[in-house]
Amino acid sequence: MYSRILVPVDGSSCSLKGLTEALKLASAPKTRVKVIHVVNELISEPALAATEYHQALIESMRETGKDVLAQAQSIARLADADVDTELLETIGGRASDCIVEAAKQWHADLIVMGTHGRRGMSRLTLGSDAELVVRSAPVPVLLVRERTDI
């Protein structure tokens, strides 16, 4: 069984489904769960980089990340699980790289994350952090797909 499960969340229903699955796996004794949220400071408009507005936007992104982590912690409490949370920040790095690095540093033995299962142009334009994590993770990755239609 897994003893250290890393769960990246972004606040979407899809990522929360990943958290729910991770909590099911964490019902085994001595299993620890760490929930992370990545804030990418370069996602915002580069032309605003030197403005006061840009700094307020970054702070808003941090606050949103803290709210996402608090929501994840509340869900974990309802499942009688104790989780650690961490807000990670990057400047221009990919969220997938931060997730993989967090898994290495924390010595996770499983990553559980939601995936939207996008196809076609939406996948091409929006990318897939889940796919990049699968390609470079040092541990198994469980992807929980958001069911849109059956």
How many Cα atoms are found within 13 Å in the side-chain-facing hemisphere of 95?
Answer: 19
Residue 35 token pair: 């929930």
Let me know: does 112 contact 6? Beta carbons within 8 Å.
yes
Distances (CA, A) of 143 to 66, 67, 130: 23, 23, 7
pTM for the structure as a whole: 0.86
Average pLDDT over residues 120-147: 76
* pLDDT tens, residue by residue, 91-105: 878 899 999 999 999
Residue 150 lies in a domain: no
Residue 55 lies in a domain: yes
- pLDDT recorded at residue 124: 40
* pLDDT tens, residue by residue, 13-60: 999 999 999 999 998 888 999 999 999 876 555 555 566 777 788 899
- Could you give the number of structural domains in the chain? 1
Range of the domain at 133: 4-145
CATH (domain of 55)? 3.40.50.620
The helix (run of H) or strand (run of E) holding residue 89 is strand 83-90
